[in-house]
Structure 1
Amino acid sequence: MTMNSYSVRFEMMGTFIDLVVYHPNGEQLIKEAYLQLQDYATRFTANQADSELMRVNQSAGIAPIAVAPDLFELIKLGKYYSEDVSTPFNIAIGPLVKTWRIGFKEASVPSQAVVHEKLALVDPNQIMLNEQEHSVFLRQKGMEIDLGAIAKGYFADQVKQRLIDAGVENGFISLGGNVLTIGHSPKNSNKAWNVGIQNPLSERGDVIRIVPLKGMSMVTSGINERFFEFNGQRYHHLLDGKTGMPLATDIASLTIVSKRSVDGEIWSTAGFLSSASQSIHYLNAIEGIEAVVISVKGDVMITSGLVEYKQHSTDIALLLMQ
């Protein structure tokens, strides 16, 4: 008996979103997932003046703002990982993101004076959380929380949970390269969703490895996703809260395989250390996190929980060691 599959692709949050659901009521479930994502997109964005998150940012240095429990939990999670100074993950990076505008037409290289001024505003320890009130207070005027490095993973996890609660046993959620799977693909003989890792040094569509996912998440961050060129120099969008400049690294892309997509999001930024080998060493020590790091020279490194094998003569897949 083959179960009906329902799939849809739409644009939201500046990216393409793909949903595939195997369920008799799939059409309705996909509509609900769309509305769920739309709700998150309007409340959690730093790009709309009237979003719930922007109310927090606009009240920086003025007053605490009570927010919905889900936004509070996400900010709390983000703050926790941001306070680890050994990684570049930082939800207080907003003022720098707004200054560089990488990914927008008006991207430009800010002066050292401006960078220096913004660096004083990207301290996650200045985000004050009140558990009782569910309120968030940014202690200095000009501070801004940016959830860009964590939100999509959180959204994907919430959509997945709701689909599972509705009885979905096989499904696929992709929020612009953030892939989260439910069960396996009934169409594939290897009983998995086969997801490719883009070669960051080549044309789009050139897949360097394939990862068969079953109920797992895969998130990729790269310096080739958003950047601009100025005076012959390329500036990518992953900013360093210590220097105010794009991260200095020999990593071209970092892919995380994990159970929850939000963890994949966190570590695909937090793992962006100054070298690929340093990143692999660091991520190897984190339980439940596997990684594929591709250096700017094209070297592919993997954490010890992944194993490589050739499926066909050219096709190299990465398997999670069970």
Structure 2
Amino acid sequence: MLPDDRVYAYSAVLMGSPILLKLFAHNESLASRVFRLIKQQENILTVNRPHSDIMAINLAAGSHAVAVSQPVFTLIQRAKAVSLLPDSAFNFTIGPLVKRWKIGFSGNSVPPASDLQALLSLTDPRQVILDEQAQSVFLQQAGMEIDLGAIAKGYIADVVRDFLRQEGVEQALINLGGNVQTLGASHTNQENATPSGWAIGLKTPFAAADALIGVIHVVNKSVVTSGVYERYFQHQGRCYHHILDPRTGYPLDNELHSVTVICDDSIDGDIYTTLLYGMGVEQGLAHLANVPQIEAIFVTRDRQVICSSQRQFAFELLDDRYRLK
């Protein structure tokens, strides 16, 4: 390693987001292979292109089962299991509702209640039939659509982490736009030779892109944030954001502005940001008391920052308008 711990940054735009890779050695070839790997995964999992595995499943809804690769089948299995949890805010069959609202994709009006009610009947994860032997997926009703958008980035971030480890990389950071996965530490403290954590910014909701509530310090962890300020529109004084409640068809409405999850695997971060959003602060904290491998930071509308614990990270508050609890 260089004595000044120089970091080399590589960037690309993939999955509709700016992607950032940080390495401690100048290696454009490795960066290119990482971006190519992300592109390959995106092409398999996206619902925004006509020839992905997911689109093949959706286009065959109500007609026939579609065989998919083992990784895609395993990911769909995981998404279905989480969708079937009691009162789960995670639902991978929410595609028809997402498409109707179009929040973040030129949508700026509230659909009629009758439209949403009709589409709710197409969002039952129990109607996704999985055949493990054939590795096939069948959507029982025509018009059903699965959407892995709430889990794909985390999965891909973990695929990149594992690829970098296979390449012998011990220290790196990959940011897929809201999903950050880290390897090792960012550098070594020269005074005591101890590793120093990566510094991940926690964004201030509805503020400039570089405005931060604070900084999360982690080593070898994933940091995933989901917030109502990411994609939204205003209508008659109310904010309609992209985090939909699969139980009602409308955006989730509670005390939260954002949820950040710190854990080992980014796919778990993806899952838990959605689950915890649906639970809210009180229920979320009670749930996490029994899940020690998952930690979270809740940011509320009244500017509280609530950490479930700080066993796997350290949080540094920068904005004195917020209160750390």
Task: With the length of structure 2 as denominator, give the TM-score of the two structures.
Answer: 0.91
For residue 11 of structure 1, what is the aligned residue in structure 2?
13
Separation in 2 of the partners of 1:71 and 1:177?
Answer: 22
The aligned length equals 315
Separation in 2 of the partners of 1:280 and 1:191?
Answer: 28
What aligned pairs does 1:34-113 form with structure 2 within 5 A after superposition?
34-113=35-114
Separation in 2 of the partners of 1:242 and 1:43?
Answer: 28
Separation in 2 of the partners of 1:269 and 1:311?
Answer: 24
For residue 173 of structure 1, what is the aligned residue in structure 2?
174
For residue 143 of structure 1, what is the aligned residue in structure 2?
144
For residue 275 of structure 2, what is the aligned residue in structure 1?
270
What aligned pairs does 1:147-166 form with structure 2 within 5 A after superposition?
147-166=148-167
CA RMSD of aligned residues (A): 2.2
For residue 194 of structure 1, what is the aligned residue in structure 2?
199
Unaligned runs of 5+ in 1: none
What do residues 49-75 of structure 1 show as CA deviations (whole Å, max 9, x unaligned)? 222110100101110000111111111
Mapped contact 1:89–1:270 kept (Cα < 8 A): yes
Separation in 2 of the partners of 1:309 and 1:251?
Answer: 19
Match of 1:229 among 231, 234, 240: 234
| Alpha-carbon distance change, 137 to 208 in structure 1, aligned in 2, over 3 angstroms | same
Mapped contact 2:61–2:144 kept (Cα < 8 A): yes
Separation in 1 of the partners of 2:148 and 2:48?
Answer: 11
What do residues 126-145 of structure 1 show as CA deviations (whole Å, max 9, x unaligned)? 11111111111111111111
Mapped contact 1:65–1:136 kept (Cα < 8 A): yes
Q: Secondary structure at the match of 1:42?
A: helix
**By how many angstroms is 1:31 displaced?**
1.1
Mapped contact 1:87–1:272 kept (Cα < 8 A): no
What do residues 144-184 of structure 1 show as CA deviations (whole Å, max 9, x unaligned)? 11111100000000011011011000000000021100001
Q: Secondary structure at the match of 2:145?
A: coil
Identity %: 37
Task: With the length of structure 1 as denominator, give the TM-score of the two structures.
Answer: 0.91
For residue 124 of structure 2, what is the aligned residue in structure 1?
123
Separation in 2 of the partners of 1:273 and 1:99?
Answer: 21
What amino acid sits opposite 2:247 in the alignment?
K
Q: Secondary structure at the match of 1:79?
A: helix
For residue 258 of structure 2, what is the aligned residue in structure 1?
253
Unaligned runs of 5+ in 2: none
Mapped contact 2:215–2:318 kept (Cα < 8 A): no
